[in-house]
Amino acid sequence: MPKINANIQFMFNEYELLDRYDAAARAGFEGVEIQAPYSEPIEAIQERLERNRLKHVIINLPVADPETGQNNLPLQPDKVALYQERVGLGVEYAAGLGCIGVNTGIGPLPQGEDLDTAYRTYIDNLRFAASELQKVGVFALIEPINTKDQPGFLIHNSSQGMKAIADADHPNAFLQYDFYHMQIMEGRLTETFAELLPSIKHVQFADTPGRNEPGTGEINYPFIFRKLDELGYRGWAGAEYNPSGRTEDSLDWFHAL
């Protein structure tokens, strides 16, 4: 069985943010991830991690544009300095929390922005983030996201993700493979995963349609989890789903493992 961690941005929302760490541990998880830990001091999160013997697996960079609210700061050539500032904050939190990786962000194409310029800006920003994260021993992750949930998302399939990694040409840039997003965009989940395994440093999952817990949709997760073991994947797999009810009542799939 792969190492399963809970995404507490999505799960355990019945609790305040810090209390979600406790709830995840009570439910049996040994690891957690969250997109946005930045509302809490590093020391407060460290205390919850230590108390519960939890591994903090990944976080996201804070890449929301302060003017539009869209999470596409990495694509904007006139806001490179701000993105680099946000990288600094992400590095501080990732190092302090002992993360293995940071989702460096992509986003939808900004309105009125030239596609080629946005892509070149993104690649330069990815290279910068990879270099800064490498200094603290943390992987720089890129995550293709489906265009049904996020229309216009610049990198929305695994081939585009791998091209971005190649274009960045940095030894610390890796793929974050989300089975939910890739089922919507391309299918061939385990075949593609096997092909890309050397470049994958983190996995996420939810069922589709609905983005609820495994067992509520069309993806055969018992098969996928077995395949991850067969392929020798040794990383974490993040449960990033919207519970169909109370989080603790959505964990039959987890207990079955």
Among 113, 143, 191, 218, the active-site one is 143
Q: Is 50 designated active site?
A: no
Angle subtended at Cα 235 by Cα 15 and Cα 135, rounded to the nearest 5 degrees: 90
Q: Which of 139, 116, 111, 115 is nearest to 126 (CA)?
A: 139
pTM: 0.96
Count of Cβ atoms closer than 10 Å to residue 2 Cβ: 18
Distance CA 160, CA 151 (A): 16
Sole residue written with tokens 């081939």? 159
Structure tokens at 186: 């391309």
Q: Which two tokens stand for residue 196?
A: 């890309």
The DSSP bridge pattern shows strands 31-34 and 200-205 to be unpaired
Amino acid at 232: G
Per-residue confidence (pLDDT) for residue 2, from 0 to 100: 86
Q: Is 218 helix (H, G, I), strand (E, B) or coil?
A: coil
Q: What pLDDT is recorded for position 1? A: 78
Q: What is the pLDDT of residue 218?
A: 97
Backbone angles phi, psi at 41, to 5 degrees: -65, 145
What is the pLDDT at residue 173? 98
Element (H, E) at 34: strand 31-34
> Is 240 considered catalytic here?
yes
DSSP class of 200 = E
Q: 200 pairs with which residues across the strands?
A: 175
Annotated catalytic residue within 33, 132, 213, 240 = 240
pLDDT, tens digit only, all 257 positions of the chain: 789 999 999 999 999 999 999 999 999 999 999 999 999 999 999 999 999 999 999 999 999 999 999 999 999 999 999 999 999 999 999 999 999 999 999 999 999 899 999 999 999 999 999 999 999 999 999 999 999 999 999 999 999 999 999 999 999 999 999 999 999 999 999 999 999 999 999 999 999 999 999 999 999 999 999 999 999 999 999 999 999 999 999 999 999 98
